[in-house]
């Protein structure tokens, strides 16, 4: 081989080697930056934003609204369609007792769901998206939901208790519980997709 060609080959090899070294250093730097960003995102719980279709929270210590909310801050009683005549006192007391029973039993079932099923459900949802969060962060999200359950139960219990075609108490309780379970699952899924994944 002619010395000139040999020299050119050596120079090209040195140039390629130098370029590879630069690329490796660049990749290492990017990998470290990505790891730092991941660890900061998982460890930090301040300034978390929820973006839900019907729910929006600006901070984690705020209130996560689950389910439908009355318009313009009115109570659910003001939103009911048409004011019916006030029922007689005995009928009203029986209706109120039924409402309290629906609320109490639905609360028991939803509390069980939050304590026993939601942590593993949340973990499975996170695993499906290959996310790993601290136990404290997951518990904050669940506790935020838990703080709102009583209000949601009252609203849903009143709605089903006022249904004229439905008299079976067990069915009313099941309807309230099922709606709250859907709301909780939707809230967790939307939190993952919008807040954690930024979709």
CA distance 79 to 194: 30
First to last CA, the chain: 59
Tens digits of residue pLDDT in 67-92: 555 454 444 444 444 445 445 555 56
Closest CA to 76 of 171, 152, 182: 152
Angle between helices 135-146 and 169-190 (to 10 degrees): 140
Tens digits of residue pLDDT in 111-150: 999 999 999 999 999 999 888 889 999 999 999 999 888 8
Place of tokens 């005995």: 90
Q: What is the dihedral of CA 116, 120, 121, 125, to 10 degrees?
A: 160
Q: Which residues of 119-134 are buried (b: 16+ CB within 10 A; e: fewer)?
A: eebbeebbeeeeeebe
Q: Tell me what pLDDT residue 66 has.
A: 61
Q: Where residue 177 falls among pLDDT bands split at 50, 70, 90?
A: very high
Query: Cα–Cα distances in Å, from 102 out to 45, 64, 162, 173?
Result: 35, 23, 12, 5
- Enter the pTM of the model: 0.53
């Amino acid at each position: 081989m002619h010395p000139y060609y040999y020299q050119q080959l050596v120079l090209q090899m040195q140039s390629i080697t130098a370029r590879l070294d630069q690329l490796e250093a660049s990749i290492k730097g990017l990998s470290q930056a990505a790891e730092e960003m991941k660890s900061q995102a998982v460890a930090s719980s301040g300034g978390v934003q929820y973006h839900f279709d019907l729910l929006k929270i600006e901070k984690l210590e705020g209130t996560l609204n689950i389910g439908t909310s009355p318009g313009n801050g009115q109570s659910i009683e003001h939103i009911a369609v048409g004011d019916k005549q006030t029922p007689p006192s005995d009928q009203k007391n029986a209706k109120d007792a039924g409402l309290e029973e629906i609320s109490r039993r639905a609360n028991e079932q939803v509390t069980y769901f939050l304590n026993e099923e939601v942590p593993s459900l949340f973990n499975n949802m996170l695993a499906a998206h290959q996310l790993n969060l601290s136990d404290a962060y997951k518990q904050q999200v669940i506790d935020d939901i838990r703080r709102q359950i009583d209000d949601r139960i009252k609203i849903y219990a009143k709605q089903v208790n006022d249904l004229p075609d439905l008299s079976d108490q067990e069915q009313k309780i099941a309807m309230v519980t099922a709606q709250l379970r859907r709301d909780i699952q939707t809230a967790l899924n939307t939190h993952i997709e919008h807040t954690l994944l930024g979709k």
